[in-house]
Chain A
Amino acid sequence: MRLEQPEQTVTFTFDGRKLKGVPGEPVAAALMANGIKLVARSFKYHRPRGVMSAGSEEQNALVTVGRGAQTEPNLRATTLEVSEGLEVFSQNAWPSLRYDMLAINDLFSRFLAAGFYYKTFMWPRSFWEKVYEPVIRRAAGLGALSGETNPDDYEKAFAFCDVLVIGAGPAGLMAALTAGRAGADVILADEDTAMGGRLLREREEIDGKPATAWVAAAIQELANLKNVRMMTRTTVTGAYDQGTYAALERIAGDRAAGKPLECFWRIVAKRAILTAGALERPIAFPNNDRPGIMMASAVRAYVNRWGVAPGKSVAVFGNNDDAHRTAQDLQAAGIKVAALIDSRDDTDITSDFPIYTGAQVVATKGRHALESVTIAYNGGRRVIRTDCLAMSGGWNPTVHLTCHMNGRPTWNTDIASFVPSAENVPGMVTAGACNGTFSTADCLAEGAAVAADVAKDLGFKSRVKVPQAEDRTYAISPLWAVPGKGRQWIDFQNDVHVKDIKLAAQENFRSVEHMKRYTTQGMAPDQGKSSNVVALAVLADATGRGIPETGTTTFRPPYVPVSIAAMGAGSQGKGFAPERFTTSHKASVGRDAPMIEAGLWYRPSYFPQKDEATWREACDREVGYVRNAVGVCDVSTLGKIDIQGPDAATLLDFVYTNTFSTLKVGKVRYGLMLREDGHVLDDGTTARLGEQHFVMTTTTAAAGLVMRHLEFVLQALRPDLDANVISVTEQWAQFAVAGPKARALLNTVLDQELTDEAWPFMACGEANVGGVPGRLFRISFSGEHAYEVAVPSRYGESLFRMLVAQAEVMGGGPYGMEALNVLRIEKGFITHAEIHGRTTAFDIGMGRMVSQKKDCIGHAAAARPGLIGEGRQQLVGLRAKGPDHPLTAGAHLFEKDADATRVNSQGYTTSVCYSPTLDTQLALAFLENGRARHGEVIKLRDHLRDVTETVVVCDPVFFDPTGGRARG
């Protein structure tokens, strides 16, 4: 029922029913205004539940919004804003909220006590996965995901400030005003749709004006301060190291307007002031979960702020003075107060509604909506007809963020709750209700005082001016649980009640962590915000300890649940990692080459032609280009590191196993690099362009790794060396030109004549292309007469097109990764398929490349007994029986007649191909003691693809073993 007629209404639906609501009000308020009390079913017993709170701590009223891919489950009706056309659905109920079949669980609840599932469902064994578990899984869970791809936009952002104020209640507003006036960069964040916190829902005065007027003036002043940024709908969800805070902003407005739904903020603050307020906790009396039983402060919020009456005749039950406020506010709003029930004997309140002191609610009635409560009073029982019970078990300071860095709150007897410990999050101070300071006057004063201190620490001058406000005391006499018939709910969201906690204690789950895990207390989406203290008190009672000795569980981030889409914003689809494109990318795509991922790069797999039905045909043709004419391949993705300085050669001698200081200017040498633990890190060629100038080539995969490694060696191990390294991978476009006609091709594009005398195998130097200064390296990864020609990247695309055009004239063309792979396998050249991090120089037959005349990275560790010797698996070639016997990579190797079992496995294949050059199937492989077994026939077995082949072990260099073609 609405207390006054709203100016504007919109239509939304709940379970398909059309309802009127006020735009911006919480769905919970709108449902209440429409007389709807039953809004949800509980998790385990499917009990009917109604709205309980007026904030993000809501335990009961979880709903689903939207349809199809936009379906969003588990939203709190208490923070979800009404808008035109909003579709709200109840969840975890079938076939309907009112008639939910699984409510049968409630009838059998006596058998479903805490942890019952650990004790049964074990027989027969096969039934767990086939019968019990599927049933349990279907019954569990709250809302449902659509299973469809997220269609909405989410954002991530960084922010920086001097002072982050978390929560905009009286303390937070005062803190922001004080720090802002002093000139500090302030971010004031509040999860509500409006600033003001508690003041928005209380009938109080500040400086003689209604509190809401003071709030409006404060917001106005803050808005005028350029150094203050106010963020509503923004929940600070976590505190992290060195003043980093996470925050989730729900973006207001229409999603059709193209705005993201949420933004996940990383806020770096020099200081933070936590003014997060406090949360009211329930009392565990029998059947305290009926729709219509709410937190007393929530009742005030709905009445005072949203103008909605949660009931026609409301009873109030509390153990503290704050409950009285609710009764008075109800009366002021013209709502009948059925009774004020105060569990304390000595309380001084007089009014014209019935007051029962020293009384407790011991029973409630009403299945889908509260009908009456029974109280124990004056030695007797009394039934009070009421459709709404406002309960208050006292207030828990919102200490959550103070626990995120392992801070443990301490027990405060005066307020019967936990308050932040002094040192919790470095750089963060607490003020106001979250600090256990409850009166408005004290909150204002404390907010101002801590902000003044913080401002001063940061070098700002501030003046403290605190307005006059109400200074009510907060007296509480703890009341945790009321005995009686019926379950006394503590964690409403996970359906944990007093007996569950007592059972946990009885079974020796006495540690608070054991109790939590055994009963699931506090493990629901609200993380026990409202319920944990009550549960601790009940456990303390059951185990005969005090609450401080019982301790508390830890609150972990996030403070409120955060959608994965917000924290992972930008990564959906292609956004997960950067895409790197070579200069020939467009040209390759233009030739319909399938582009495949090579680390972050894209490279052409092959260049298809019209008459080719399979990739293999294209690949075989491209291999033929290189073996018989000329092929062109973009190799720019390989890492290129420019190394200069007087000690450049010494550096190379130290990072490579072989020697580079002896390399002549104008020459290239293959080098092998180890990790310090003696295994192969990477390989590649390094060219000496000048006495003190080298260019190193790394594999595509290890480019970043090697760069970091070189910097480490230079800065950390050998700062004595005068050398500098810089990555020039992006600066040069480099193309392999390979095949018997490679020289002829290059002679059509180079500015000077290329001769074998001037450019023998492994020569390097400068070479101009059409007036562009470039570089030429006579190196080969195919075993053919080949070069790599490099030009500054901006000329890459045109050079590629030119080379390809010339190659095609000569009966060749471009080749892709597939052909490149075949060419290198035929030659026994290794890639990271072979140097996969577990191989040593010894394994790949390069033991002799480890110079014994000098130290190098990995030298000592490579000499460990386990890294050398016969037992190790060594690189070999495998030749299949013929072209129709394809081999598979990842197959294991066995002696010819051995069973394919672990103990018999002697190795595995790493790279396989069909060799059009040799017309057979080849593999590179590692085989136990393989170098001594050339000629032996062994078995290859691939269980996964059901391949069994006999293969002949041979040298890994299948083609042109003397290397004459590359030199010719």
Chain B
Amino acid sequence: MVSAAIRLILIAALFGGITGTQLLYDASKIKFPETDFAISPKFLKSVDAGLHPALASYLWLFKTRTELIKFLFLPKDQQTERYSRLSKDIDAINTIDPRYSAPYAYSVMVLPASTYVDRIQATIDIGTKGVKQADPDWQIPFYLAVTYHLDLKDRANAAKYFDIAGHTPGIPELVRIFAINYGTIPSVREQTKQIWMAIYETTDDETTKERAQAYIIHLNILDYLEAAIKKYKERYGEYPIDIENLVAKKIIPGIPKDPFGFEFKIIGGEVRVKD
């Protein structure tokens, strides 16, 4: 009985010692040097026994994503050096599993900064690769389009990627409407129409052609309805409350059918897609 109690005390003491040592180690705060991927991703891929998605997920969740978040809070002078390492790490993850969408999506959200030209280019490279090979994720083309629009002022590519985002499954409705509506405000509508017409004329891809045609029809409908609203104002001295008023007052014979199935509303004499 006594020996059993001693054994129990001994075990408890041993575990107490283990916990104490661990606490001592934690308190010492020894820092291990941070390392890059010392091994090439191609090699990692060939020795992971086919567990590519698991390896990519591990590297992303437990290494690179945390680094990416830390990166945002670094002083500007340290960002350039860290950024180069990060973009290599992201590339490595997507070499191991090219379809894993999270690293692409996160990168196009986090990397762009108009003050760093190379980061804009990296965003474009990562995002374009993501749109081509990752699982469908609306965030990749959406943030890529935002970069094209805000940082590069490239409306043609912005329209292209907003369109891809707008047609990606799982996109929230509000974002979808925004993406589809890109370039429809009267001041830039004509330019957007020209972009889609150029795409329509030059593409060999039937789906892209159909999509471009739908956009041209959509933008023509907006022009048509706004012209009718103008006529309404000239006749009655005020804007109609809704689109149906234009039909009721026989300004137009009927509301044209939108190729995307949208309904319309009037805001200050301009036509917008209904939420």
Partners in one complex: no
Interface residues of A (CB under 8 A from B): none
Interface residues of B (CB under 8 A from A): none
